Structure 1
Amino acid sequence: MENLKKRRLKTAGTYLATDIIPGLVKLSGFGLARKALVYSMKSIKKLTIRWMAPETVEMFRFSQKSDVYSYGVLIYEIFSQCEPYEGRTSQDVKALIRKGQVNTFPAKTPRKLAEYVKDKMWDRNPSARPNMSTVMVFLTKYTGMTLEVAALGE
């Protein structure tokens, strides 16, 4: 799973599986996933721009770092309880992402978490973003919970 790019990471593709393991969240929708360090889309398909990293919006480039960006958007959704860029058209969203304008976390969001997402996970430069392992270490320390990522098929 180390080199797998999800490409459509968003809350609509996550499911609680607490009947299996308390706190277990599963991801679905791997139809566009690719196993590669970096993947550039050759043809335009219907994509969910609101969750995309700037490099994906601009050049259709997907990587582990673009998944980290999308995971940050998923964290935003959890705390805001709304879709990213709610009320905006896809064209408006595309322009905002290209300009580096990100969603503003609600005041109720823990400050340290909101800053980590905004400053690290949403960094405009993909190589400056942490990898998913680093994000998991931060979240584990921050929440005090043991967080694990299971391989596909588990």
Structure 2
Amino acid sequence: MSAAPRLQPGDVAPDFTLPDADNKPVSLADYRGQKVIVYFYPAASTPGCTKEACDFTESQPELSSAGYAVIGISPDAPAKIAKFRDEQGLTFPLLSDPSREVLTAWGAYGEKQLYGKTVQGVIRSTFVVGEDGKLTSAQYNVKATGHVAKLRRELGV
């Protein structure tokens, strides 16, 4: 098992096209010229991921007013993320990356500690992509609870 390469502020955000909860393709290129928060989460409908997704939904009016779109990505199948979206009333795109290719390209899949063991899995991560397609923030191993509030403070939103 090896560590995933880590992206840094100033790096060009790796492009992607993934299916959303309704199996419609969504590309990062669709957001060119906008600021985008791309976050990676391990699994829909788990307590931490639910808290994080609901925090993003609750913060979406302020984030949108400040010009930020939000995209969540996990390895879950579209049907599972559709159920998650509908049950939680989530208001931003959730994308499916079952091959973990996008997760890996962003450094959000690889070795991590889980209950004291080293395992391969999704590394909870959040990135802010500027209007020019470059990262302005790259945060790995973020906490599910309180993360969105901390991010909003950092962004001044």
TM-score by length of 1: 0.29
Which structure features the higher share of helix residues?
1
**Larger-gyration structure (1/2):** 1
TM-score by length of 2: 0.28
Which structure features the higher share of strand residues?
2
